């Protein structure tokens, strides 16, 4: 059962990343995903950051059955709220580690 939940959480996280990439696909500054050793760096454009803030996307991610989901979702919403208060504000985050032990950082950038 735990394996099924882990796979479902991984599929949902991948789906969430693809949603963010699709949302930004039409804008000049779309979501940028950069591979890093052992993880990825995700740069949201200002438009994507606004969308995350207005849709409370982090709140939805927080409901994923994964130990990291609640803190990641709350941090994403908080960073998007701070960044969206500035015209060119955006969110940048990194995710490292295996799916069952994710960690990383999140920045609200002006």
What is the DSSP secondary-structure string of 3-67? HHHHHHHHHHHHHHHHHHHHHHTTSTT--EEEEETTEEEEE--HHHHHHHHHHTHHHHHTTSSST
Q: pLDDT digit string (tens) for 41-99?
A: 999 999 999 999 999 999 998 998 888 889 999 999 999 999 999 989 999 999 888 87
Number of domains into which the chain is organized: 1
The confidence band for 1, taking pLDDT boundaries of 50, 70 and 90, is very low
The confidence band for 103, taking pLDDT boundaries of 50, 70 and 90, is confident
DSSP H or E segment with residue 83 = helix 69-83
Count the neighbouring beta carbons within 10 Å of the beta carbon of residue 61: 22
Decide if pLDDT at 36 tops 50: yes
Cα 102 from chain centroid (whole Å): 13
Decide if pLDDT at 110 tops 90: no
Sheet containing 103-109: which strands, arranged edge to edge?
A: 32-36, 39-43, 90-96, 103-109
The answer to whether 86 and 53 have CB atoms below 8 angstroms apart is no
Q: Which domain holds residue 52?
A: 2-109
């Amino acid at each position: 059962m735990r394996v099924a939940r882990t796979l479902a959480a991984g599929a949902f996280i991948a789906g969430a990343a693809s949603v963010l990439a699709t949302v930004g696909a039409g804008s000049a500054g779309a979501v940028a995903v950069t591979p890093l050793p052992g993880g990825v760096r995700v740069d949201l454009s200002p438009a994507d950051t606004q969308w995350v803030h207005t849709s409370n996307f982090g709140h939805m991610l927080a409901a994923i059955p994964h130990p990291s989901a609640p803190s990641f979702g709350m941090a994403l919403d908080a960073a998007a709220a701070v960044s969206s208060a500035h015209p060119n504000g955006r969110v940048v985050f990194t995710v490292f580690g295996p799916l069952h032990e994710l960690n990383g950082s999140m920045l609200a950038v002006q």
